[in-house]
Structures are given as C-alpha cells and as structure tokens.
Amino acid sequence: MTDTYLNLVNSGVTQKIAKQLGLPQPAPLRRHRPGTPLVAGPVLVLGRGADADALAAVLSGPAGGDPGVAARDDAALHDAVLDGWDLDVHRHPVPDTRYGAVVLVLTGLTHPDQLAGPVLAAAGVLRGLARGGRVVTVSREATADDAPALAAVRQGVDGLLRSLAKELRGGATGNGVVLREGVPPTAPSALGALRFFLSARSAFVDGQLLTVASDAGSLPASWETPLDGRVAVVTGAARGIGRSIAETLARDGATVVAVDVPAAGEQLAAVANAVRGTALQLDVTAEDAGQRILAHALQRHGRLDAVVHNAGITRDKLLANMTPDRWESVLAVNIASQLRINEALLTSGDFTEEPRIVSLASTSGLAGNRGQTNYAASKGGVVGMVRATAPLLVPFGGTANAVAPGFIETEMTARIPAVTRQVARRLNSLQQGGLPVDVAEAVAFLASPAAGGVVGETLRVCGQNLVGR
C-alpha cells in the first residue's frame, strides 16, 4: 500500500509546507537493487587496535588494505581481505566528506572513559551523513563474569547505539554487531552481519543489536546470490510477506518450495511459477505437515536446507471477549504447527547439512498489543522456541532464528482505519511503515551461510518502534 503522506512531504510545494509546519518528514528508504553499490559513499572506520585494522582491511579490499594486516598468520583474515569489499575506507574523518557509513569498532574498550574518543569523532561527521547512510557499532557482549568497568562499557554501547539510531535522519539507520568472547571481527557471521547492516537490504532494520555467538558459517562465493544451491521452504507463501520472502530467496539463488493452504492454490501456483520453484498445497496444522514438506523437497529437489515459518493468522479480541476457537486457532497455526514441523525435520536425519530455521515472530510478541493476547502469546512463543531450538541444530552447523516485523504495509494493515494507520506509521524512528521486502531481506540473511554464527536470535524489522528496544 502506498504511503501518500511520505510522497507528499518529499516533493514540491507540500515538502516546503510540511517543513514550515514542523510536520514529520520521513525520507524514502534506500532499498536493495542488484548491482547497486553496497554503501552510498566513503566508509569511516573508527577505533584503535587490531580489530579495527582488520575490519578496515576487509572493507577496503586488496587494493586499499594494509599489507601488514593481510600478511599476518591469520588464514581467515587473509582470505577475507582477498575477498574484500572494495570500499573507499577512511580511518580518520576528512573535512567536508559526506560519508555513506560510519563503523565504530569498540571491541577493545575496557572502561566507559574510553568511549569518548571514537564516539565524539563519529559525532563530528553525522550531520554530513549521506541520505540512507549507516552507522554500525562492533562491540563485545557484556557478561556477568566481566569486571564491573568492562561490563559497563560493553553494555553502554547498547544504550549508545539505540539512542543514536533515534537521532539519525534522512533514512539513515544505526545497528550493532555484538561479538561473543573469542569471536574475531572477521568471523563469517560477523562480516555477514556487518555487510547486512551496511547494505540497503537492512532498510527498515534500525536500533538493533545482533549477537554473533561463534565463528561458524561461511562467506558466499557471490554476495548477490548467497543462497545458490540451497533449497528453502516458505510457508504462507501465496501472498503478502510470504510471497516477498519466496521472491527474495529465489533472487538470492535458492530453489523455493512455496507452501500454503489449498484455498490459496491459484495464488500459490502463481508464486511458485514466478520464482521457478514448486508449490505444495498444505495446511501447516496437519499432523503430518513436516513429513509432507520434507518428502516434497527431497523428491522434487533432492534436499532441504532451510524452512521459513511464515504462515500465521490473527483473530483479535480483548481477552475479556476471547472465545476458545479464536484462541486455539491462532496458537495452532502460529506456534504449534512450527513445533510439530521442526520436530519432524530434526528427527528425520535428512535436515543436517547446515540447516536453517527462520520463524516469523512479531513486535506484538515482544511488547504486547491491546486486543492481541492470543497473537502475542503465539509470537512470544516463537521467540522462546527458536532460542531453545538453536542448540539442537548447532552440531549440524545449523541455526534457528526469528524475525519480528513491526508495522508492515500489507493487505492486513491496509484494513486498519486511516487515522490509526497514519499514527502507526509515524511511531518508529524512520517515521513510516516497512514493506514486505524488508522482512524478506532479514529472512534471507538469516537463512544464508554467512549467518551460521547467529543462533537463537530475534531480529526486529520495525524501524525501531519500541522504546528501549
């Protein structure tokens, strides 16, 4: 659905009027198109030490990398530099330069006093950040075993990043990569997460911190087709977010099995044909849904690598007016079916080659929403499920993660009363609704080999619409 207000305040006379009246002026977001540059301008990498040097070397690539860094006895770093991203990397601010991104490497900090140098250096270039620019922090995870000062600075980065993201304008976003102790910044998933946040694929992801738990995973042969050779199932694929997920996975090289209920058969066939995949008419609440999905994938494509649990329904009512059928149907589709399908896959012996499970949660499951106790319970259940399922997949090089959309422009949100819809759009830091493709891009990243070290996480795609999250 078109956001007419966004178009009006970014063109002609109405743009001037909106500015004079002090009305919100959301900027059109920079979204991914194959072949476009990763970043819209030079990249400023701030921070001292080996980690900052290593990341700067990878971002700049062989031509601009530091030979001394690349020559160290570090095979992973050497390979990463050889596959460098060929960006124009600066290590110190250059006056009058319009940066496309700022990367703050804060992994070596041990006391909050040390934040001032790199953070204030970044502050000096934010006014000139390009439209659709990116700020990404790279830091270490705070733990209960840390010394107080160390825990303070590490946790402080989280608060800093979330607050900074709320201050950015012009469609710019701020996100963070958080490394567990022992994970190098050049680990595949650290680089994968950094690239995702720098890219236009993360247009509606803002104020998020994604933890990289290990050095598992691998970098793709091509960043344009990171899912080449993989087979992915998408449930609820006939329309809306599910259709966009199927299209995005196919664009990234995957063979897609599109799944939806028989009643959506015509739309489902159209999606499967469009992505050159196959269609499977199936009610995901069926007892044998998992076995049928696996059998279809194996018979038609010879393997199954990823399952995207997108199918979901709403049956909203205040809890005081909730009926058993409304409650039970939502829980059956949104969480019980996923648990049953996952169990079938995990016990089959045929889902063991770096498998990926990506489930659709919701910000309602994180923050709650009036009239959605059943829906929020089911989506909160998804968050808990992926956290508990992830360790079961680690021995196979697999992962389970979730994506939690906020206000996304779909047929469902188009039915919201006009005034309520406008308010909902403006509540997040980007002051607009997301698109189905924004959710699909996050799903595609988590389904990729480069996300192998991201386990049990829930990545919000909401434009940062929750206070303190």
**Active site residue ranges:** 375
Tally DSSP H helices, then E strands, for the chain: 18, 13
Task: Give one word for 354, left, alpha or beta, with left for phi > 0 and alpha for psi -120 to 50.
Answer: left
Asked if 294 contacts 304 with a C-beta cutoff of 8 angstroms, the reply is: yes
Q: How far is CA 62 from CA 68, 85, 243, 363, in A?
A: 12, 9, 39, 41
Please identify which residue in the block is written with the tokens 């995990």.
Answer: 346
Measured between its terminal Cα atoms, the distance across the chain in Å is 27
- Burial label, 419 (beta-carbon count in 10 A; 0-12, 13-18, 19+): exposed
Phi, psi of 322 (to 5 degrees): -70, 140
Half-sphere exposure of 220 (CA within 13 A, CB side): 23
Beta bridge pairs of residue 234: 258, 308
CB-based burial, 327-337: b 16+ in 10 Å, e otherwise: bebbbbbbbbb
